[in-house]
Structure 1
């Protein structure tokens, strides 16, 4: 069979022969979308110069420096986020994205704002996981005025100057957690709800929707006032331990924020029969969560699919940089995964 020629490629792609030749010669005056279309066509027809086309596209590809402000370097969950973000940046085919990842351990608004501003000054765009606070909003505004897009990641920000949000539908997540607990509990009882900080929009929305579902579909259950763990496992341990000691009515726990290792420690301290009667739903998955699932202590973890979420985040940031004019905030909702002891 005769191998495809440049003329064959040009005809199949609907471009001129000179356009294909310009790409092969390394010319920079071919639109990226056109070059990518020719590359896909070359792959489709088995064009012999596919490798040269891919090399030239990569050589002429735009270059981005992307900053990511994550939390708590000691938590494996955020380390996992960082690894997946790096992987998403390194795996891009038609542009170069260099990730600059910073972890914030002191979660005060002042410290987060300072670190966010420093990161933004050295990057084309930044992604942020942080509680919603006016001081952080001011920094988002300042970076926007500098032409540095800020993308809220996992939990949204109220600052209107943010470029985008990438995360799950937290209203659906909270109602799903309530559905799971209520379907497994036929008798009356109480549910404890724990969040890291009420300023995390993702946690506050999930808690509100959790209550909404219980009111609507499970009137035999009551939901306690939400308690804040400040994302600290030791605090979570003390709060859950004291709750379980104070009453035998607890049939469910919704852990919407950080500190799951402390919750698991408190459950391990009660008799086996007692903890079997407590349905625990948590968010996102790390080593402690996997261990809790394998032990049967956790009923389900509602998680971001980290690989896909990271790819969407990186693409969203690059799109924000490439957009020259003003635009409304973009929302990219990534469906969450439900992990149970049976599919972990």
Structure 2
């Protein structure tokens, strides 16, 4: 019978004699349970060490493809780069393809170029578009794993989704708002939901979760939706200002897709101070707005943890490690001015 490791190596790792190892491997009597356990543990340790040694010199080139405001895509890019050292001995190199606005065809063209050029994996934040779906299928056929970030593209052969549970995030926003805008004081008032674009399934899921939970918890409140500002300040401002002027009943804000500096400016210009303002992601703008008291709370998830998980999935997809990860959505963190990470507080 052959074994993955020489008997003398197993014996040395376990700290026992060759005869003991032989009895354990042949399941013969005369060996204590604790000793058997130590021998099997030694074999697992040797297997892991052999695998890690084989990874030295392994290099992967991965591509980050995002349509998002620069403040968010740059935060994702920085989080991804910050995790690369933790992946050693596998060396990863990141090629970034970031844009604030792009058509579905333009993003599909980027994916097609990467497929022809070669890639060890793609991290993709993109809208739901037929051309993008088709290119994800083409990448899968070419054995290039595509991981969707933040917003999913289900019913495609994407390899995995990494990000928060968007419906749960929307429900969390509703839970918070229902606590700040309770009846009867706010009966007949409205919450403005600001979406960057309905092209992104993740934002639509957040709104669905929000509307469902708010209807259950605060039926005295109505919901107004505003979209297609693309999360960009210059586009979001005019849309929000017009909505505030035509809907005096708005007393709550749930910003799903960003552009919060513009929302804050529109509120100030219109002389409005909402009872509650909930936003997503602790980027630079939201850190400042939270510290100033403009935003009430931010729904955040750990981008660094997301990027580490994404890289580990790609390492496994490239068969450098055996599959071991069960992908789960990231937990939603509720960040307020009093529990903001100390290094992000003003003046630190």
For the criterion TM > 0.5, the same-fold answer is: yes
What TM-score results when the alignment is normalised by the length of structure 1? 0.79
The match for 2:316 is 319
User: For 2:170, which of 174, 187, 194 is the aligned residue?
Assistant: 174
User: For 1:10, which of 13, 36, 58 is the aligned residue?
Assistant: 13
1:337 is displaced (CA, Å) by 1.7
Of structures 1 and 2, the larger Rg is shown by 2
Partner of 2:263, secondary structure, is helix
* Aligned residue pair count: 304
Aligned counterparts of 2:152 and 2:110: Cα–Cα separation in 1:
18
| Change over 3 Å in CA distance of 1:270–1:39 after alignment to 2 | farther
The match for 2:199 is 199
The match for 1:23 is none
User: For 2:79, which of 84, 100, 108 is the aligned residue?
Assistant: 84
User: For 1:295, which of 292, 303, 316 is the aligned residue?
Assistant: 292
Partner of 2:123, secondary structure, is strand
| Change over 3 Å in CA distance of 1:175–1:114 after alignment to 2 | same
Aligned counterparts of 2:82 and 2:219: Cα–Cα separation in 1:
46
Runs of 4+ in 1 over 6 A off after TM superposition: 13-16, 33-36
Instruction: Determine whether 1:285 maps to 2:282.
Output: yes
Residues 35-75 of structure 1 show CA distances to partners (whole Å, capped at 9, x for unaligned) of 993498xxxxxxxxxxxx89x82763532221111234x62
Q: Structure 2 stretches of 5 or more lacking a match?
A: 1-8, 20-40, 341-348
**1:331-342 residue pairs with structure 2 within 5 A?**
331-342=327-338
Deviates more, 1:244-253 or 1:288-297: 244-253
1:340 is displaced (CA, Å) by 1.1
| Change over 3 Å in CA distance of 1:213–1:59 after alignment to 2 | closer
The match for 1:62 is 58
Residues 142-176 of structure 1 show CA distances to partners (whole Å, capped at 9, x for unaligned) of 11111111111111013421111111011110000
Partner of 1:107, secondary structure, is coil
| Change over 3 Å in CA distance of 1:239–1:14 after alignment to 2 | farther
1:297 is displaced (CA, Å) by 0.9
Residues 1-38 of structure 1 show CA distances to partners (whole Å, capped at 9, x for unaligned) of xxxxx88851259999xxxxxxxxxxxxxxxx999934
Deviates more, 1:141-150 or 1:259-268: 259-268
Partner of 2:328, secondary structure, is strand
The match for 1:27 is none
1:198 is displaced (CA, Å) by 1.0
Residues 298-329 of structure 1 show CA distances to partners (whole Å, capped at 9, x for unaligned) of 111111211111101111122222299xx9xx
What TM-score results when the alignment is normalised by the length of structure 2? 0.78
Q: Structure 1 stretches of 5 or more lacking a match?
A: 1-5, 17-32, 41-52
| Change over 3 Å in CA distance of 1:93–1:221 after alignment to 2 | same
| Change over 3 Å in CA distance of 1:88–1:12 after alignment to 2 | farther
| Change over 3 Å in CA distance of 1:139–1:11 after alignment to 2 | same
User: For 1:132, which of 128, 132, 136 is the aligned residue?
Assistant: 128
Residues 170-212 of structure 1 show CA distances to partners (whole Å, capped at 9, x for unaligned) of 1110000011111001222101111111121110001011000
Aligned counterparts of 2:141 and 2:17: Cα–Cα separation in 1:
41
